[in-house]
Amino acid sequence: MNRSIGRLYIVLAAGFALLGLFLGYWQVVAAPDLADRNDNRQAAERDKTIDRGEIVTADKIVLARSVPKRVAGQTTYVRGYPQGTLAPHVVGYANPQVGSTGVESSYNSYLRGNYGAEPLLVRLRLRTAHGANVELTLNKRVQQIADEQLIGRAGAVVAIEPKTGKVLAMTSSPGFDLSKVANPAEFAKIRNSSDSVLLNRATQGRYAPGSTFKVVTLVGALDSNLDYTPATRFDDTGTLATNGPPIRNFGGEVFGDHDLTTALTHSVNTTFARIGQNLGGARMGETMDAFGFGKKPPIDLPAGEVVASGRYGTNNALLPNIEDGADLARIAIGQEKLSVTPLQMAMVVSAIANGCTLMRPYLVNRATDQSGSAVFEQGPRRLTQVCSPDTAREVTDMMGNVVREGTGTQAALQGLDVAGKTGTAETGANGLNDAWFIGFAPKDDPKVAVAVVVERTPETGGVAAAPIAREVMKAAIARSAG
């Protein structure tokens, strides 16, 4: 009898232990993931009682906060956005009715306080749950300038600190007002806008890069074993025969005998197309891979809000960077199914500015609890060495010539050398272009790298995009000086 009771005791004890492990798993391990699910109604109701953390800029300007409301003796919280039109695609929104986007989504577990063991008093609803405050890398002034420069125009701006990968500004235009998201009628207008205002054009907008891609081709050439140098000579007749239609220079210009520096300065299509043919598919593919083409940039936004840059085929299918039969001449000048995001091109130019070391772009510095202690922190992280520092210096000097006397003169800053490259990608719609500028400043000690695209404009990149880049770079340099 005693032996039977002993066995029963062991079985019961084992059962209780397994039950404890099961409950512990769901309460501790799985709870944060369950809480983050948009279809978790219990979590959605509970979120109303959580003092969700603030989202602030690097210079401590509050972009999102929880506002308390006292109803029927209970305190609940609604999300408020004091700077509603500033960087709405980065900040994002968190709303029980429409879901969450941006940093509100990607850092949800920190903002709602799911980053550690939950205090018993909070679990028993005897004390308010407080989320962590999230500090962005964005600088308010740089972001404001980027926003203002695109008012009335569709497009995007990305500004990155080359040495660290910190995103100083990320603008997508047209934008929207985060403070209107909680109003169902207003949000319906935002969501149904014909201008696709909810689309983050900086990370989701895909554009033909045009001549900005010549910088990628240039890196591949100078870093190859084919003996290209900035002084390599070419003879241009104004056209280049290919397997498809012949390639011509912008405006039908003929440059005759010229060197590679001149080819970049004046964006000579035929020369870069010839270089693409000479490099071959393997070398072009290696260079594109090193810059990050063909995969999503590893930025800290929700995966669904970031797309890869590269060659796209039918049904928006991402193709290999280079494949058999690809028209290397057209790839080299930014055509042939190439489709890129402003973020990707900002990464390209940021890597060149940083001696060809590509850093991971990031939007959040840290998250801190109510006592100010960091519960999450991140810093610079190297992704890859794209080319040699010597090649980076050569490309930098050549890009400096573009701004000094070539197609990018409107990006020039008084008293500072600027490096850059323009691009003008035809859209096929009534003479309208997607106008580009990528660049960095100061040229020899870069504090900021930028990519700017202006959609569907009759102007070139040197006219439409370069002046925007100039103002953003000026603001970023003033920030670093102050």
Residue spans of the domains in the chain: they are 141-363+379-481
Report the Cα 443 to chain-centroid distance in Å: 22
Q: Is the pLDDT of residue 122 over 60?
A: no
- Give residue 205's pLDDT: 98
pLDDT in tens, 411-425: 999 999 999 999 999
Q: Which residues pair with 135 in a beta bridge?
A: 56, 366
Read off the pLDDT of residues 336-355 as tens digits, 9 standing for 90 and up: 899 999 999 999 999 999 99
The answer to whether 364 and 103 have CB atoms below 8 angstroms apart is: yes
Residue 36 pLDDT > 60, yes or no?
no
The first and second tokens of residue 379, run together, are 């810093």
Residue 105 neighbours by CB distance under 10 Å: 19
Mean pLDDT estimate for the chain: 91
Query: Comparing C-alpha atoms, which of 155, 123, 94 is closest to residue 455?
Result: 155
- pLDDT bin (cut points 50, 70, 90) of residue 72 is confident
Residues 334, 318: Cα–Cα separation, whole Å: 16
- At residue 15, the pLDDT reads 62
Q: What per-residue confidence (pLDDT) applies to 126?
A: 40
CA distance 364 to 103: 8
Compute the average pLDDT of residues 298-307. 98
pLDDT digits (tens, 9 = 90+) for 141-184: 999 999 999 999 999 999 999 999 999 999 999 999 999 999 99
Reported as a pLDDT band with limits 50, 70 and 90, residue 323 is confident
| pLDDT score of 324 | 73
For residue 51, count other CB atoms closer than 10 A to its CB.
Answer: 18
Residue 61 has pLDDT above 70, yes or no: yes
Q: Are 155 and 201 a contacting pair, CB within 8 Å? A: yes
Per-residue pLDDT, averaged over 128-138, amounts to: 92
The phi-psi region of residue 12 (left if phi > 0; otherwise alpha if psi is between -120 and 50; otherwise beta) is alpha
141-363+379-481 topology per CATH = Beta-lactamase (3.40.710)
Mean pLDDT confidence for 49-78: 90
